[in-house]
Amino acid sequence: MWGMSAAGSSDRRNSHSREKYQCRTQQSAFCAQQWIYKHGTFKLTIEFTEEYPNKPPTVRFVSKMFHPNVYADGSICLDILQNRWSPTYDVSSILTSIQSLLDEPNPNSPANSQAAQLYQENKREYEKRVSAIVEQSWRDC
């Protein structure tokens, strides 16, 4: 389960309303013991446009991440946020999907090729890099 706090704001440019939420996520103890991100607190933003729910929100990690499916700018390579979006998805399902992706990366569709390579070829170094990101998340809270 995810713990989350959010603060919303509206941006009215060119008569288009955009809702933007700053979110803090924290993984609770319900996840698998091997989950290396479980003790981290990671901030992300979820932006909803007027086209929501027909178009997915834009979701980005604000916190620094080292993960095969997270781009350097924090964007997440996740099918439900792109070509597999459905208007039935809500914030909870998005966060659950992100949790699953963090727990089970898809190195065959990398957004971060270095993380994908380490994940496949040198798990110990990958886990060391992730542990450093988790520790940094504590300081950034």
At residue 113, φ and ψ (nearest 5 deg) are -65, -35
- Could you tell me which residues come within 8 angstroms of residue 56 by beta carbon, excluding any fewer than 6 positions away? 80, 81, 82, 85, 89
pLDDT for 42: 87
pLDDT for 74: 97
Is-catalytic flag, 77?
Answer: yes
Sheet containing 2-13: order of strands:
2-13, 16-27, 41-48, 58-61
What secondary structure letter does DSSP report for 56?
A: P
pLDDT for 13: 47
Among the listed residues 58, 60, 57, the one whose alpha carbon sits nearest the alpha carbon of residue 87: 57
Q: Which homologous superfamily is 2-140 in?
A: Ubiquitin Conjugating Enzyme (3.10.110.10)
Q: What is the pLDDT along the chain (141 residues), one digit of tens a residue?
A: 445 555 565 554 444 455 665 555 444 333 333 478 888 888 999 999 999 999 999 999 999 999 999 999 999 999 999 999 999 999 999 999 998 999 899 999 999 999 999 999 999 999 999 999 999 998 987
* Strands (E) located in the chain: 2-13, 16-27, 41-48, 58-61
- Cβ atoms < 10 Å from Cβ of 132: 12
**Residues making up the chain, counted from first to last:** 141
Q: pTM to 2 decimals?
A: 0.79
pLDDT for 32: 33
pLDDT for 11: 55
